[in-house]
Structure 1
Amino acid sequence: MIARGRLDIRFSKLFKAVGTVARTAAGLSKASPCFPEQSLPCLSVRTGFDLLLSALKLERGTEILVTNINIPDMFAIMAEHGLKVIPLAVDKHTLGISVDQLKDAITPKTKLLLITHLFGAVMSTEPLLQVAKANRLIVIEDCAQAYDGVYQGNLQSDVAMFSFGLIKTNTALTGALLHFNNQTLFTEVSALNRQLPVQPTKIYFKKILNATLIKSFTQRLPFQWAYTLCKYLNKDFDAWLSGFTRGFPGAALMRKIRHQPCNANLSMLHYKYSQDISSQIQQRKALAAQLLQGLNEHYLVGTANAQHTHWVLPINVSEPVSLVEKLRGAGFDATSKASSLVRFKSENPSLGIQNELALENLIYLPMDITMGKNKAKQLNQLLLAFLPNPQGF
């Protein structure tokens, strides 16, 4: 079975990371690597976001305008800081938020705008930044799903946050890099980060072992065995798999994220950030084009986005359960539960839009750039056969 995704790291790099951990344990670790000017390495995007809100010292009840789709932890961090969340709907074609929504949502209590780029796509930010800066809003770009080695955030944004977490593009197993265009904010956030305890190296070592295990069983034959065993034991395969990939599982989120990365983590993060991944991104775009070729526009998500790298590949269908079963039966691990994204519901119906992205009917197709042209064509043909109004391969 072709897995829904594979960790973006080589076995050789995982083995090298074990050596870095061993040198650290023996007191032989090198000095921390140097990152670009006004860039701050953090344990996670969650950590960086928490530090940003701490540095801003906003009054409770301050309004933050946000892309209405994100992971629950990000909304939990906003609640921890007493912010009132004002969600802005995402257009399913552009994967962006509209200027009109933004203008209508701004009040005297609005101080922040959080722009979240979804599924590997970068929304158009220039018109949003013009409105935000005219209203003196702090602008934060959440690029956790959008790292492509090129985009560094809009230069008018105060900060852009990039994730190198376990399932992300160019993973460092955990970690994030924040790029600042606001010198004052960079200084204050850096100072707060230095006050955090360093995460024990043994935790990063466990992440290396976990990643090695995941990378091993997401090979085609072991993955098929795992799926078959879960089905035989009547276990939820998606729940079992997600247990290996959660960044901060369980309770006590704030305690877990409030650490600095250890030296071994910093070394991996620096190496990964320095890599050229342009070839991989192009392969991913080509695979997405193959898999979606001929599908009716109704099923597609993000087709009007000009900067899409297809970190994941969702399609919108009316019968997600049936399609997932059909594709898995043919050896393709499609899923409707691959993402932990949630939609924050608005109290103001006027902020909705006509083509709003809904999560309920999305399924995620396997995005394995090693699957080969024949398998890609087979998956495409299965989709065309199942979904109405096919246009041909």
Structure 2
Amino acid sequence: MRPRKLFDIDWYDLAFGLTLCLWPRGDRAVYAQWEEQNTLPCLSVRSGFDLLLQALNLPEGSEIATTAVSIPDMQQIAAQHKLVPIGIDLDLATLQPRLEQLESCITPRTRMILAAPLFGTQIDLRPLDEIARRHQLLLVEDCAQAFSRPGYLGSDLADVNLLSFGPIKTATALGGGLIRVRDAQLLKRMIRAQNQYSLQPRRAYALRILKYGAMKILTQRHLFDLFIRLNRLMGLDADQAVKPLTRNFQGHDLLGKIRKLPSQPLVAMIARRWSGYRDQRIERRTELGRLLASEIGNDTEVAGISAVESTWWVFAIAAKDPIAVVRSLRQSGFDATSCHNLCVLKTPSIPPGEMQWLLQNCVFLPIYPELSEAEVRRLGQAVKVALGKSRS
């Protein structure tokens, strides 16, 4: 069976990371480049968002107009700062925010627009920038799912860009994030706040590398088959077996976990992955994503099919019966899933939109450079068969 996702890191990078945990060193040229571009490495994208809100110190009850699909941790961080997120729906085909809804949600309490491109797409920030300038709002781009090339830092139109190098991300460093801030004074306040944190132990990062190294072995095709079979014998399906292994910050006290200085090995690994990632992998995945979209055909609702730009970090489709589609695809040798850690921010004054419908009916398909064109075509045909069964 083909796993739903492969970790986007090779054995040389894992060995490099372990070496750093023993003999820390860094890429001074990259660090200097970050400083020139007002960019700060942090423990995670959550840490960067929390630092931003600490430095802004917005009045209690201030509103953040945000694209509606997020992870619960980001909403929890906003709530910890006593801020109110207001969800803006996205168009299913383009994954662009609905501008008329954004305009109608802006009130005197609104302080920020937070735009998060989904599934490897890019958001056209020009209309959002115009709205933000007109209403004197901070424009923040959460690029956690949008990394598209070496040295990528997001759109220059944003006041703040957030990047993630978490375990399942493109160019993963198995953790860590970058935050670029246009306002130098705001960045200084963030640096002061972060410098008060305790340091992430090198041992913790070394154990993380070993954990994901073991998981990388498990995602080898035949070993993954064995792993799934063993879990079935224990009464667990693929989702129950895989999901707990890839969670980043589990348990309570989220702020306590994310408020740490990134260790030197983690920062050096982020620098290596951010600056030295191979374009060919993204180009290959983009080609395979386009091929899969063409194989599936126009009858299927594919999230982001008409996006301005997409690298297909995730390939999501909507299905009438997602459980049946997942079951059929697994029987065909593809570990598709309808399981995810995303949530839709519900705003009482706004009726449920396309994103809520998508996440209730979504199926995520395997898509990564290691797949062959023949496998992608076979996956496309399997999807059409599975969808046909679910519609009948």
TM-score, L = length of structure 2: 0.93
**Secondary structure of 1:186 counterpart:** helix
How is 1:47-196 mapped onto 2 (pairs within 5 angstroms)?
A: 47-149=47-149, 151-196=152-197
Distance in structure 1 (CA, Å) of the matches to 2:354 and 2:260: 42
Equivalent position of 1:315 in the other structure? 317
Distance in structure 1 (CA, Å) of the matches to 2:217 and 2:354: 44
1:298 Cα shift? 3.9
Equivalent position of 2:329 in the other structure? 327
1:62 Cα shift? 0.6
Contact 2:228 2:241 in 1 (8 A): no
Distance in structure 1 (CA, Å) of the matches to 2:63 and 2:378: 48
The runs of 4+ residues in structure 1 deviating greater than 3 Å are 29-33, 352-357
CA-to-aligned-CA distance 1:15-73 (integer Å, 9 cap, x gap): 1211111224xxxx568761422110010010000000000011111111111110000
Contact 2:176 2:266 in 1 (8 A): yes
**Secondary structure of 2:375 counterpart:** helix
How is 1:1-393 mapped onto 2 (pairs within 5 angstroms)?
A: 1-24=1-24, 29=25, 34=31, 35-36=33-34, 37=36, 38-149=38-149, 151-294=152-295, 295-337=297-339, 339-349=340-350, 358-388=358-388
Distance in structure 2 (CA, Å) of the matches to 1:173 and 1:368: 17
* Residue identity matched to 2:211: N
Distance in structure 2 (CA, Å) of the matches to 1:362 and 1:156: 31
**Secondary structure of 1:324 counterpart:** helix
Distance in structure 1 (CA, Å) of the matches to 2:368 and 2:157: 35
**Secondary structure of 1:387 counterpart:** helix
Contact 2:64 2:114 in 1 (8 A): yes
Provide closer, same or farther for how the CA distance between residues 98 and 386 of structure 1 changes in structure 2, counting only shifts above 3 A.
same
Distance in structure 2 (CA, Å) of the matches to 1:20 and 1:356: 43
Distance in structure 2 (CA, Å) of the matches to 1:248 and 1:225: 28
Structure with greater proportional helix content: 2
Provide closer, same or farther for how the CA distance between residues 31 and 100 of structure 1 changes in structure 2, counting only shifts above 3 A.
closer
Give aligned pairs, total: 383
Provide closer, same or farther for how the CA distance between residues 235 and 31 of structure 1 changes in structure 2, counting only shifts above 3 A.
same
Distance in structure 1 (CA, Å) of the matches to 2:166 and 2:47: 12
Contact 2:125 2:157 in 1 (8 A): no
**Secondary structure of 2:260 counterpart:** coil
1:387 Cα shift? 2.5
1:236 Cα shift? 3.5
**Secondary structure of 1:265 counterpart:** helix
1:302 Cα shift? 0.7
1:5 Cα shift? 1.0
* Residue identity matched to 1:210: K
Provide closer, same or farther for how the CA distance between residues 199 and 355 of structure 1 changes in structure 2, counting only shifts above 3 A.
closer
Contact 1:40 1:178 in 2 (8 A): yes
TM-score, L = length of structure 1: 0.93
Provide closer, same or farther for how the CA distance between residues 160 and 353 of structure 1 changes in structure 2, counting only shifts above 3 A.
same
**Secondary structure of 2:380 counterpart:** helix
* Residue identity matched to 2:76: A
Moved more, 231-240 or 70-79: 231-240
Contact 1:155 1:181 in 2 (8 A): no
* Residue identity matched to 2:66: V
Contact 1:160 1:180 in 2 (8 A): yes
- Give the alignment's Cα RMSD to 1 decimal: 1.8
Unmatched 5+ residue regions in structure 2?
none
Contact 1:140 1:159 in 2 (8 A): yes
Contact 2:117 2:143 in 1 (8 A): yes
Unmatched 5+ residue regions in structure 1?
none
Identity of aligned residues (%): 33
